[in-house]
Chains A and B, each alone.
Chain A
Amino acid sequence: MSAGTSADHAATLEVGAGAGVIAEDRIAVATQWQLIWWRFRKHKLAVGGTIVLILFYVVCLFADFFAYVDPTESEAQRSLMAPQPIHWMDNGSFRPYVYALKGTRDPLTFKRVYVPDTTTKIPVTFFGHGEPWQLFGFIPTDRHLIAVEGAKPAESLFLLGTDTHGRDLWSRLMYATRTSMTIGLVSVALSLVLGVALGGVSGYFGGPIDTAIQRVIEILRSIPTIPLWMGLAAALPADWSVVQVYFAITIIISLIGWTELARVVRGRFISLKQEDFVMAAELVGCSKSRIIFRHMVPSFISHIIAATTLAIPAIIISETSLSFLGLGLRPPAISWGVLLQDAQNIQALVISPWLLFPSIAVIVAVLAFNFMGDGIRDAADPYL
């Protein structure tokens, strides 16, 4: 690490204390995790990214609450409706409403079109009643973040418009977030197991095993991944269920994604092997597994967390790309990639640009993971 980091550290020492002596006492007794947290807290972008990610995962947990209609309910009559504006103020007071929609025929094309009926206002409420759903799968409720009064949400609320089958894009986006954000986690967990096991073996034992594993990593990294993923994903049987495909895709992605994690773990093992405390443990007669898991792993776990966080965005992009091509998750599964499939060609984009909305979710999530990962990486070694 360079001069910049030690300056940061000097600043960390002064965290939240007026008198230097008190601050030093605090530093001296602080645990490693407290030090990491103090350093992390100063990285504003990382904190921002973390907050955004917490919001995303709240949406994952309560997708049914944030959605206001069934994401699979299609209605050909309402296909490709544009996003509908919410009017926040009514006669000078805060009373959000939307205009009711009236179906008419276009006199030229005879296509059914919906126009706002400015005489009928439908009040929009928050935390109101809507379609029933079950909290955590067993507590029945019908509260939703957004609801309408005196009308069915499926017929009157189109925050982000609808897709070609007339399904509500906002509600679909909420469920897609659940799929895409969890696929990142599941997949990274698998990569982590592979990466820590192979990287640890490689770094701890060294010698021919190390060379062999390093060669495998080099080979894997020099193969273009997307064609390979496409080939593997296309080979999945067409009659598999949504859940089977979901796990198959996570496995395919993590089979190639573990290399970077293995590299980080190996590097840490090699540098820690020379530390005095490891030699001390060896001399005292600790078993190999005790040295690895009680002495070495705790001192670089924060680095693993950082590398893991930075690996998730690549996985999210992979899943989105595969599903976008129609080779990843398949409908009726809903993920960001599946949603973006509708926006595949220029004709669709020009007629209905709102189909690109899911891409904003992808970009924000990927950025947030990158910022958070950068913050953790910078804070990972608080004793530097």
Chain B
Amino acid sequence: MIAYIVRRLLLAIMTVWAISVLSFMIIHLPPGDYVTSYIASMSASGSAVSEGEAQALREQLGLDKPITVQYAKWMGLILQGNFGMAMEWGRPVADVIGDRLTLTMIISVAAILFTWGIALPIGIYSAVYPYSFLDYAFTFIGFIGLAIPGFLLALVVMYVGFRYFGANVGGLFSPDFIEAPWSIEKAWDLTKHLPVPAIVLGVAGTAQLIRIMRSNLLDELRKPYVMTARARGLSEYRVVMRYPVRVALNPFVSTIGYLLPYIVSGSIIVSLVLSLPTVGPLLLKALIAQDMFLAGTIILLLGVMTVVGTFISDLLLMWVDPRIRLGRE
């Protein structure tokens, strides 16, 4: 068990490192360095940066040193919680990202809950009644769900919502609450706005999960112990739910490791269409303005968040699956 946790933790740390290198690369890919673009954005807003200040900034970031030293300095600053300045906003990156990162996470988790809530019963139904009309119907809908990119689905939902219900389904808060400080009412308002983005984000993953659940459970239901249980006169409900579903559930939990990056990834684009206050729109703006420091930080934090989520799901898997807990995979 300890070995499993350590191995997962090591992998998580390596992943975070890989993400940090990639984010650093992205920051440094465009021509010019942070200071030149900082000066440009400052002079665009009317305030000049003196030669001395620029030099001091360069030294602080180690821009005159080799790339490896720069990376070390950057990591050092980040570990202290200093993410640099977001140029367009003229505020520290940490301030700008703040709530948005939390909201990204909330939406992603809501989407995963939705995915599970839908995929579980449908998967069980499709496996218990394979090749039935509803099974085919779900398979068909699942295929369509897989084929529609998230942003297209978001566009269609927006259009239908506006056209036929006269409502703007975008956003995460009612206008009254956007600027309001956090309170019970605001949290409730958020809950009411969550379903639409959660469904849009969750549909593609749901289709995949239903297929996994269906085939797992079908394999499980063919096993002799199920027949034994039936022969002993257990009710059909208990025959299915008691063991086969529990066994088939394991791969279900383990897919969260792939589901989470996928959903976080999708949330970036869907947020743009549905104008959700997540890091998505911020990232796009930063990239278009070539504010690579802000963009790199967002990519890094998104990656770290995903890795932490995956690690938690690994622990969860250990709790669900005794084979992993006891070190026999």
Interface residues of A (CB under 8 A from B): 2-3, 215, 218-219, 221-228, 230-232, 234-235, 237, 313, 317, 320-321, 324-327, 340, 343-344, 346, 349-350, 353, 356, 359, 362-363, 366-367, 370-371
Per a CB cutoff under 8 Å, which of B14, B158, B310 touches A349? B158
Instruction: Mark each residue of chain B from 292 to 315: 1 if its CB lies under 8 Å from any CB of chain A, else 0.
Output: 100110110011001100100000
Residues 246 to 284 of chain B near chain A (Cβ within 8 Å): 257-258, 261-262, 264-266, 268-269, 272-273, 283-284
The answer for the CA separation of A219 and B19 in the assembled complex, in Å, is: 9
* Of the residues B18, B168, B287, contact of A223 by C-beta under 8 Å: B18
Give the distance in Å from the alpha carbon of A367 to the alpha carbon of B22 in the complex. 33
| A224-B303 contact given A231-B295, A321-B149, CB 8 Å threshold | yes
Shortest distance between the CB of B50 and any CB in chain A (Å): 29
Known A-B contacts A222-B261, A226-B265, A346-B170; the reply to A370 vs B143 at CB < 8 A is: yes
Give chain B residues whose Cβ lies under 8 Å from the Cβ of A344: 155, 272-273
Q: Are A234 and B290 in contact (CB under 8 A)?
A: yes
B266 and A363 form a contact (CB under 8 A): no
Bin the interface of chain B by size: 35 or more
Taken together as a complex, chains A and B put the C-alpha atoms of A320 and B298 apart, in Å, by 22
**Does the CB pair A223–B14 fall under 8 Å?**
no
Q: Are B299 and A228 in contact (CB under 8 A)?
A: yes
Cα–Cα, bound, A237→B29 (Å): 9
B74 at the interface (CB under 8 A from A): no
Query: Which residues does chain A contribute within 8 Å of B149, judged by CB atoms?
Result: 317, 320-321, 362
Can you name the residue of chain B whose Cβ is closest to the Cβ of A358? B152
Residue in contact with B147 in the complex, picked from A325, A327, A363, CB distance below 8 Å: A363
* A220 CB to nearest B CB, Å: 8
Residues B26 and A235 in contact, CB atoms below 8 Å apart: yes
* B residues lining the A interface (CB < 8 Å): 11, 14-15, 18-19, 22-23, 26, 29-31, 143-144, 146-149, 151-152, 155-156, 158-159, 162-163, 168, 170, 219, 222, 257-258, 261-262, 264-266, 268-269, 272-273, 283-284, 287-288, 290, 292, 295-296, 298-299, 302-303, 306-307, 310
Chain A at the B interface: mostly helix, strand, loop or mixed?
helix
| Nearest A-chain residue to B12, judged by Cβ | A222
B31 CB contacts on chain A under 8 angstroms:
237
Q: For B155, list chain A residues within 8 Å (CB).
A: 343-344, 349, 356, 359
A33 vs B159: C-alpha distance when bound (angstroms): 47
Chain B residues with CB under 8 Å of A353's CB are 159
Q: Taking CB as reference atom, which chain B residue is nearest A346?
A: B158
Chain B residues, CB < 8 A from A346: 158-159, 162, 168, 170
Q: Which residues of A contact B257 (CB under 8 A)?
A: 222
Let me know if B219 and A2 touch, CB within 8 A.
yes
Task: Give the Cβ gap from B191 to chain A, nearest Cβ, in Å.
Answer: 23
Closest-CB distance, B199 to chain A (whole angstroms)? 18
Let me know if B162 and A350 touch, CB within 8 A: yes
Residues of A within 8 Å of B14, CB to CB, are 215, 219
Interfacial chain B residues near A231, Cβ < 8 Å: 22-23, 26, 287, 295-296, 299
Whether the pair B268, A226 counts as a contact (CB closer than 8 A) is yes
A-B pairs with beta carbons under 8 A, tally: 132
Q: Are A230 and B287 in contact (CB under 8 A)?
A: yes
Q: Which 9 A-B pairs have the closest CB atoms?
A: A235-B29, A234-B287, A231-B26, A224-B265, A226-B265, A366-B147, A224-B264, A367-B147, A224-B261
Q: Which residues of the other chain, B, contact A235 by a CB distance below 8 angstroms?
A: 26, 29-30, 292
Query: How far is the CB of A356 from the nearest CB of chain B, in Å?
Result: 7
Are A227 and B288 touching (Cβ within 8 A)? Answer: no
Chain B CB within 10 Å — which of A224, A231, A343, A344 has the most?
A: A224
A362 to chain B: which residues have CB within 8 Å?
A: 149, 152
A244 CB → nearest B CB, Å: 15
13 additional contacts, CB 8 Å, given A2-B222, A363-B152? A222-B15, A222-B258, A222-B306, A223-B306, A224-B261, A230-B284, A231-B22, A232-B26, A327-B284, A340-B152, A343-B155, A356-B159, A359-B155
CB distance from A304 to the nearest CB of B (A): 22
A325 touches B284 (CB 8 A): yes
Known contacts: A222-B310, A346-B168, A350-B163. The answer to whether A327 contacts B287 by CB under 8 A is yes
Q: List 12 A-B contacts (CB under 8 A).
A: A222-B261, A224-B265, A230-B268, A231-B296, A234-B295, A237-B31, A313-B147, A321-B149, A326-B284, A344-B155, A346-B158, A350-B159
A327 to B299, CA, bound (A): 15
Q: How far is the CA of A3 from the CA of B283 in the complex (A)?
A: 50
Interface centre among A2, A326, A359 (most CB of B within 10 A): A359
Q: Complex formed: what's the CA distance from A363 to B163 in Å?
A: 22
Contacts of B147 in A (CB 8 A): 313, 363, 366-367, 370
Please report the C-alpha to C-alpha distance between residue A225 and residue B266 in the assembled complex, in whole angstroms.
Answer: 9
Docked-complex contact A215 and B303, CB < 8 angstroms: no
In the complex the two chains form, is A359's CB within 8 Å of B22's CB? no
B283 touches A367 (CB 8 A): no
